[in-house]
Amino acid sequence: MASAEHSKERLVAFQQAYQNLQLLPLLTQEELDKFWVEYGTAVLERLEQSVLDSTPGNDKIIFTGHRGCGKSTLLAEFCRQIEGEYFVVMFSIAELIEMSDVNHVNILFAIAVQLMEAAENQKVKIKPSIKKAFYRWFGEQTRLETSTIEADLEVKSEVGGGLDAIFKFLFQIKSILKANAVIRDEIKTKFERQISDLIDRINEIAAAIRADINKPILVVIDDLDKLDLELVEKIYCNNINPLFQPEFGIIYTIPIAAIRNLTFLNVIKGKTNKIELMRVAKFFPKRANRDPDAKPVESEVAVFQEILRKRLPPELMEPEIEQQIILNSGGVLRELMRLASLCCSKCLVQIRRAIRKQDPETPLPDIKINADVLALAVADLRIDFATPLGRLDYDLLKRVYQDNEPQNAEDQRFLDFLHGLYILEYRNAQLWYDLHPIVTDLLKEQVPDLA
């Protein structure tokens, strides 16, 4: 039992843990200092090799992995590591374009905008006449007035001229791209017919940047892997050539399910052999988790334990619960955060309820994440997973569970399950599949005699 003061302290601790467990990548130095754990070192090394050893015309990289496996955080760390050698521009397509309306044209237009913004942020010296032409071009495409910027660039120095007006202008462009479907459609319609004009402008901006900094350029586009599979395949299969024509390095992110589609994979491989994959953590060897006495791989669990403890102090959990949360994640960082966050939410509700109903004569319970709290959180996730499933879906899931592979790797429902984390891909000497642990429990409820 606990005192009222202790319960209030516990409330604050769970509030902080709940905030720490939000499903956001570590992008700022402050976030990295607070939460970074050495993870994905081999992937960082492969990315470094692919980027540093690339040649012009062979500098486009496809980066994939399950949603929530830590790609965004790893890419941000990679960009920090090489920014001394490269002019690096990393941005999220989700922050610039309505995700349902992403296409190859607005991806390329977003690259142009982000290159200019990065050049201004890094005080790249571009001749005022050239810079004025760039902004006039942006204004024409987005119906924005550029006279203030052009006037400032006429009378001020290259470095200091018109920066406030320029940043306001760039912000307006990004706001338009995000919210104005009419102008997005106008840009798409125009440049679908004149895609070479858009690529020429991108390459002109890149050339102006290189003329001052004398560094290669690398653009990293995050969150393309969060697009619906149908949209991803349409963007890349139908428009792979223009996406690969800018004359600098680009890392494109794609969903892991997309590279299971043979047509899509052949299109990508026709342009680049640089396909880098970030694996999820493998807590058990293939099929070992069928044994209730199986021991998880300690080194993999230890990494997830370190990640979790930086966000959720061990004193907020019963000792045996930490590993159960980790194993229920299936080796996916996003799922670790999602389940731990849900446990914190359950505890916050319990603590507030106890404080409201406090009897001065009765000590308050010492609320922690215990087996009951974890069971409630898992039940919520199980319902989330179960909601869209039908009888045929359970047949497919059963087959993957039993065989560790799909009957047809290009079956759309299998790809949907891979995209939605129902099915997880693992790699060691083999490529194999298993169900998310919570989906496994769900399947066992539906098929009690599951072998």
Residue spans of alpha helices (H) in 214-275? 229-243, 262-269
Over residues 399-416, the mean pLDDT reads 92
Q: pLDDT class for 23, splitting at 50, 70, 90?
A: confident
- Taking a C-beta distance cutoff of 8 angstroms, is the pair 431, 439 a contact? no
Burial of 53 (0-12, 13-18, 19+ CB in 10 A): exposed
Residue 438 has pLDDT above 80, yes or no: yes
129 vs 205: CA distance, rounded Å: 13
User: Going by DSSP bridges, is the β-strand pair 431-435/423-427 parallel, antiparallel, or unpaired?
Assistant: antiparallel
Q: In 363-385, which positions are buried (b, 16+ CB within 10 angstroms) versus exposed (e)?
A: ebeebbbeeebbeebbebbeeeb
Residue 158 has pLDDT above 80, yes or no: no
**What pLDDT was estimated at residue 317?**
95
CA-closest candidate to residue 21, choices 339, 372, 384: 339
CA 72 to chain centre: 4
CA 352 to chain centre: 33
Residues 51-89 pLDDT 10s: 999 888 889 999 999 988 889 889 998 999 999 899 999
Q: pLDDT class for 15, splitting at 50, 70, 90?
A: very high
Over residues 180-193, the mean pLDDT reads 94
Residues 305-342 pLDDT 10s: 999 999 999 999 998 999 999 999 999 999 999 999 99
How would DSSP label each residue in 180-197?
-HHHHHHHHHHHHH-HHH
Over residues 398-426, the mean pLDDT reads 93
- Taking a C-beta distance cutoff of 8 angstroms, is the pair 75, 222 a contact? yes
- Taking a C-beta distance cutoff of 8 angstroms, is the pair 417, 423 a contact? yes
Identify residue 401 by its one-letter amino acid code: Y
Q: pLDDT class for 4, splitting at 50, 70, 90?
A: low
CA 336 to chain centre: 15
CA-closest candidate to residue 270, choices 31, 62, 128, 40: 62
- Taking a C-beta distance cutoff of 8 angstroms, is the pair 398, 447 a contact? yes
Any idea which of 53-62, 156-165, 317-326, 431-440 has the lowest mean pLDDT? 156-165
Contacts of 382 (CB under 8 A, 6+ apart): 438, 441, 442
Q: pLDDT class for 3, splitting at 50, 70, 90?
A: low
Residue bearing the bigger pLDDT, 290 or 29: 290
Q: pLDDT class for 362, splitting at 50, 70, 90?
A: low
**What pLDDT was estimated at residue 277?**
92
Q: pLDDT class for 159, splitting at 50, 70, 90?
A: very low
Share of the chain above pLDDT 70, in %: 95
Any idea which of 34-38, 187-191, 440-444 has the lowest mean pLDDT? 34-38
Residues 135-144 pLDDT 10s: 999 999 999 8
Over residues 127-146, the mean pLDDT reads 90
Residues 206-255 pLDDT 10s: 999 999 998 999 999 999 999 988 898 889 988 999 999 999 999 999 99
Q: What is the mean pLDDT of the chain?
A: 89
Residue 156 has pLDDT above 80, yes or no: no
DSSP letter, residue 364: B
Identify residue 331 by its one-letter amino acid code: G
- Determine phi and psi for 431, rounding to 5 degrees: -100, 125
3-state SS, residue 344: helix
Share of the chain above pLDDT 90, in %: 65
Residue 401 has pLDDT above 50, yes or no: yes
CA 105 to chain centre: 21
Residue bearing the bigger pLDDT, 355 or 393: 393
399 vs 380: CA distance, rounded Å: 25
- Taking a C-beta distance cutoff of 8 angstroms, is the pair 345, 18 a contact? yes
Q: pLDDT class for 118, splitting at 50, 70, 90?
A: very high
**What pLDDT was estimated at residue 171?**
92
Residue in the block written with tokens 């120095």 = 157
- Determine phi and psi for 151, rounding to 5 degrees: -65, -45
Residue bearing the bigger pLDDT, 90 or 428: 90
